[in-house]
Every structure is written in structure tokens, then in C-alpha cells.
Structure 1
Amino acid sequence: MQVMTYVAPILIGVLYALVMSLIREPDRRRRFNAIMVAGAGAAYLSGGGFGGWEFLFAAAVTYCAYRGLESWTFIGIAWLLHTGWDLLHHYKGNPIIPFAHDSSLGCAICDPVIALWCLRGGPSLISLVRRRTARAQ
């Protein structure tokens, strides 16, 4: 496997958190992310390889996303659930993007990066960088 198979998904997760940092808080960023993870939870429905289990998984993530409207923790949990589902799909050979063999693996690497950001409360990475830059000067 190439290094970029592992590095690119991490960078995508960081980029996701950075772009989401442009959405102002309070509430808007969290609620938008709850909607995003709900969509991710349904990503395998059209071609998933686990039959009816795909619906059960989508329901579990939807529940977490609903709770995530008021809690960053539930959004983080939903991304971690998606990570596990990505791994199952990768090992089964049924990737999220049918023509991209390692797409579920990439998603399984990216999702925990997003989950960690969510479990930290979805802080603005832009503000964090600005504060550190100001302290360094």
C-alpha cells in the first residue's frame, strides 16, 4: 500500500474540521455536523453488502445524529460507528465507492479524525491556530 492511502484520509479529516470551523457557533456547527453524519450513515444503503443490516446501521447512526443535534458526543459516536462499518465493508470487499477498492479503508481512516474533533466539542480550528500564533508572537 502507498503512504498516501493512509495520509490522504487523515488530511481530509483535518480539512473537514477546518472547513466546518467556518460555520459559526453556538449550535449551527453542531447541528450541521449532525446532519452530515446522518447522511454518512446512509452511504451504504444503495449498494451495501450486508442486506437488512444496512438499514439497522442507518437507523443507529440516525439516532445518534438526532441526539447529536444537542450533543457533540453523539456526533462523535456516530462517526466511530461509521468507522467500524467502513472496516467491515473494506474487509468484505464491498467499498463505499464501487470503483475505488480502498475507499472504505480511506473512510475508516478519515472518520476517526472527524470523530475526535467532534468528541472535543467541534472547536474552531481557525480560532485555535490564531490563538497559538498570537501567543507565539
Structure 2
Amino acid sequence: MKKYVQHLLDDIRNAHRPADYFEKAESSVISEEDELDEHFAEVDRYLNLEAEPNFSSYCGLKKEMFPPSDYYDLKELQKVNIEFQQMMRSWNLEIDLPKNFPPERAYELMLGILDRSVLVGKYGFQHFDFCTGNPEGCELKEYCPCIE
């Protein structure tokens, strides 16, 4: 494995959400009513997603840190993709791609999330499937499930 790839994998592992991330914001025990209010506030934030910070501001990774997909051999690229998805899950973000989706394209789509506004929520996950419901202009192109 290339030395830079190993350093990049370490950076991705270090970008996981800290275990106490949500506890830092809570200074005391909250009631069920307060927790419900927090949940609805989170839903409201999701409805105004464009006002949320981009994912890079949460995890600390920058798109510029990642070389083009052709820098990697297949095994390295698959490892980077897996580690990146695991890191995303730690932030309550999930990516869903079609089976047999090319790893090079998955890599590019995942890196694009770094520049997107995201909601890091305590009460749920933000899900990225890249499907607009219309195969025309879809980021998944010929792999779009709407084509079937």
C-alpha cells in the first residue's frame, strides 16, 4: 500500500465523530419533554438543510486531501471507500449505492459529500442515495434504479 494511502486512511479514522460529541452540548440531564423538543428542533434543521455546515466542517477532512481515483490500485480504492463510509456512519450519515456501482464513481460521489450541507443529528441519520427519482441528469447515470 502506498505510504500516502496509509496516512489518508489514518486521517479518515481520526475523522470519526467523537464518542462524547452529543454529550458536550448537554450540560445537565434533560427531561423527556426537552428531548422531544430537541427532536423537533432537529427536524426543523433538516427542513432548512442549506443553512447547515458542510460535512468537511464536522469531520475536518478536505476534498483536496484526496487524490484522483486513478491514483489508487483497486484494493486501495476499495479500502478508502469502506473507511470513508464507516467514518460517515459515525456522524449519522449513510450512503447507499447500487450493487456493482464502480468504486471510482462511488469515491467521487462520497468526496462530494464533504462540500455538501449535512445534518449531524442525534435522533436519526441523513441518507444519501444520489437518486433524484428521474434518470435524466441522475448522478448514478446508467446505474440509476429508476431506469429498471
Normalised TM-score (structure 1): 0.31
- With a CA cutoff of 8 Å and minimum separation of 6, indicate the structure with the bigger relative contact order: 1
Normalised TM-score (structure 2): 0.29
**More helix per residue:** 1
User: Could you say which structure has the larger radius of gyration?
Assistant: 2
**More strand per residue:** 2
